[in-house]
Structure 1
Amino acid sequence: MTRPQPGAARTAARLSRLGHDAVLMPLFEATVTAGIDDLPPVTEISGLVATSARAFDMFEDMNAIAAGLADVRVHAVGAATAQAARDAGFEHVHEGGGTAQALAQALAGDHAGSLTGPRASNRSGRTRLVYLAGVPRTPVIEAAVKAQNINCTVVECYKMREISYSTDILNSVILSPVPDVILLYSANAARRIQALAEPKNAVKSLKSSRFLCLSASIAAELPQDLRSRVIVARRPDEDSLLTSLAELD
């Protein structure tokens, strides 16, 4: 299980209930890098875009209601991110198709004036879309809003930092025995696994492991020699991912 905490523990519990022996190996941890004060004035914000639930960690000390943002529409990449937005106090949350690419297509289909929710006519002064972005990230959302000439401000509100493991810990604890399946939830995780599997890193061979990926874009980050052992979830959500895992048994 390579996803960051706290999601890793929740997924591990689900896997345990399904009869699997889940080993936690989070490859990244999220650090909040911005706060409410880093957002543009509330009177200018037409909507928020988020591709991760971690984007809403910045509202932990002051939720959307207290910040006067509860009625601002949120464009969330998928169900988990949408739920994080609702938990933060946002009332108008739109769920995307589960990938940054699908969310970008949805944004491209909207007009800048329609990004404010059901009371748009009363908020004509709000014309700025705000992307609650992480570091590192792919430029999918930025490219989409630029192509549509949408007024968008990027606020980098969290950073995914690599978690390092010693070779001894990897070989003797985490990867012993070698896992049957490695679950990958992000392109960053796929790139890290690829690096760990390189012979120069002296990590146990993963040649017998299969790689279960949340989306095709994540699978594309794995090298060609691993592709024959890659399975992509039918939909980019955890329920579908775990259904694919069950079908392997």
Structure 2
Amino acid sequence: MLIGGPVAAAATPTAQEILAASDAVRNPAKPFALQTQLIEYRNGRESANLSLAVYAKAEASGGQYRNLIRFLKPLRDANKLMLKSGNDLWFYDPASKASIRMSPQQRLLGQAANGDVVTVNLALDYRASLVAEEDTLDGDRQTRKCYKLALAATSPDVTYHRIEMWVDVANNQPVKGRYYSESERLLKTAYYRKYEQQLGSMRPTETVIIDGLDPNWVTVMRYSDWNWRDVPDAWLQRDYLPRFKAE
């Protein structure tokens, strides 16, 4: 019997497995809520600010998230709602009592699009391929050994046509993403930062988004007040939006 023989090296996971693991780092597995603050900076000076309450729940079949988003600040936008169900995105204004279908690509604030503030599992909307293992600088300018993934959209309804994603080899944490339009224009670069223990795992609590053309145009998304919570299916129906009451 051979004792102490060579140990086979662990096989590199597939690109789709790496992407799914990075999704699990960003997204809790059970229904949850958090607050998202978006701050836009132009040439280093704050130019706009928006706060949202996000309620998220994965579909029983398929696993993609459905989201209800309530606007908190500024006060002029308080209690407006946005609903993502499947690939449909709806905006509801209680003043007009009208729900309007929206595009996930449409800008919400600064470089943050509507599709950036909803919870998504990228592995369900993109086909991933492994480009390389390489060192890259994270949002704190620290070197991280990463898998570089190329993500191709599998549906025209998703927020970005193509994404380049860097995922830490050691822990599957998303480090950086580059997001492209259908015309292959670099729209933005995002850095996932300030990892904290939240809802059972280390998760990024800040995303820094830099414009693809103007590096002085920066949008920061901060996530706080994470909590497990029941998200009733009724909240995630377009017909229920006029009856939704904030708790």
Band of TM-score, shorter chain:
under 0.3
Higher relative contact order (CA 8 A, sep 6+): 2
Larger strand share, 1 or 2: 2
Larger helix share, 1 or 2: 1
